[in-house]
Amino acid sequence: MSAQSNIVIEIKKLKREKNAIILGHNYMDYGVQLVSDFTGDSYDLAVKAMKTNAKMIVFAGVYFMAEQAAALNPDKKVLSPDPNAGCSLSDSLDVDTLKKYKEIYPDAPVVLYINTSIYTKALADYIVTSSTAVKVVSKLDAKNIIFGPDANLANYVERKTGKKLIKVPPNGRCIVHANYTKQLVSIARKKYPNALLMAHPESPLEILEAADFVGSTNQMIKFAKESPNKEFIVATELGMINALKIQVPDKVFYPLVTTEACGCARCPYMAMITLEKIKRSLEEEVYEVKVPKDVAEKAKEAFERTIKILG
């Protein structure tokens, strides 16, 4: 038996013994997705975290996702296999900056992308994801809306809703999606003339304008399943190809950027979550994500307010 299948068996056994579940983001390595009880996008996993009866949640994703799950589940043990798995977007907005914007625009609702620390989320009115941002902003009846930290997602939301957003910070970027260019799209279109282009809204506007479909990672899976087309170019993080191969096995997916072309194809933070670290996480019950009660309650309120406005 291979080392890989041994570790999978051990993880499954530990899950049963500890009444634990693994929530895995769609960007995880192939093996990590296979041991996950649920895979999904940020929104879906946050909702799954609220609904589970398991005593323990191992969050196979970046740290802000585990923090969000911990804030939503104060009675459960939420573990991050590697708390150093950060996110360039989350790192780009701190509490003091957000407080300053709130002082300048005291009447503006604060809409934060889920890719933020729990401490900034506690200052937000709404917590959106790539699948919900357009809908939430379109429902807000306010002259000014503070939105952060992803400037690309903000540009996309502005385009779709016709509303002008106050971006905090002005130029927050995902280190993976920010590298996509129109030139890369035309190379891929020439190479794969029958493929449709699916793009994540963290990509620059020029990519989104060129795409056949724009959506969150879950929405991409749905689009690929339902489309009569057989081939797709995927403008998002490389791990997404694993989710698509597992969930849409009868179709073909080409990443817009491969690791041979650019070290930026794979998110270095998502790649930090490995089967070995998940096994250790379950065995030693590390690293427990702790969120102060008052912070968790405020962030939870913002998340629940968002679910309500979504209807």
Among 270, 275, 296, 302, the residue binding ligand SF4 under the rule CB under 6 A is 270
Phi, psi of 197 (to 5 degrees): -100, 120
* Burial class of 127 by CB neighbour count within 10 A (0 to 12, 13 to 18, 19+): buried
Q: Which is nearer to ligand SF4, 8 or 23 (CB)?
A: 23
Q: In what order do the strands lie in the sheet with 126-128?
A: 126-128, 110-113, 146-148, 166-167
Residue 114 marked as a ligand binder? yes
Residue 138 marked as a ligand binder? no
Residue with tokens 């589970």: 52
Residue 144 marked as a ligand binder? no
Q: Which is nearer to ligand SF4, 41 or 158 (CB)?
A: 41
With CB cut-offs between 5 and 8 Å by kind, which of ligand 13P, ligand SF4, none does residue 269 bind?
ligand SF4
Among 166, 175, 210, 295, the residue binding ligand SF4 under the rule CB under 6 A is 175
Euclidean distance between CA atoms 119 and 127, whole angstroms:
12
- Per-residue binder mask for ligand SF4 (CB under 6 A), 75-94, x = binder: ------------xxx-----
Our finding on whether 26 is near ligand SF4 (CB under 6 A) is no
Residue 177 marked as a ligand binder? no
With CB cut-offs between 5 and 8 Å by kind, which of ligand 13P, ligand SF4, none does residue 117 bind?
none
How many residues in total does the chain contain? 311
For residue 127, how many C-alpha atoms fall within 13 Å in the half-sphere facing its CB? 30
Residue 226 marked as a ligand binder? no
Name every residue whose Cβ is closer than 8 Å to that of residue 102 and which is 6 or more positions away in sequence: 108, 110, 123, 146
With CB cut-offs between 5 and 8 Å by kind, which of ligand SF4, ligand 13P, none does residue 132 bind?
none
**Partners of 25 in the beta sheet?**
40
For the CB of residue 247, give the shortest distance to ligand SF4 in the complex, in Å.
Answer: 19
169 preceded by a cis bond (ω within 30 of 0) = yes
- Per-residue binder mask for ligand SF4 (CB under 6 A), 28-57, x = binder: ------------------------------
Among 112, 122, 153, 174, the residue binding ligand SF4 under the rule CB under 6 A is 174
- Please give the torsion angle defined by the CA atoms of residues 26, 12, 282 and 78, in that order, rounded to the nearest 10 degrees: 50
- Which among 63, 95, 93 is positioned nearest to 80, based on CA atoms? 63
Our finding on whether 176 is near ligand SF4 (CB under 6 A) is yes
Residue 262 marked as a ligand binder? no
Query: Which spans of this chain sit near ligand SF4 (rule: CB under 6 A)?
Result: 62, 87-89, 115, 174-176, 202, 237, 267, 269-270
Residue set of the binding site for iminosuccinate: 25, 42, 113-115, 130, 200-202, 217
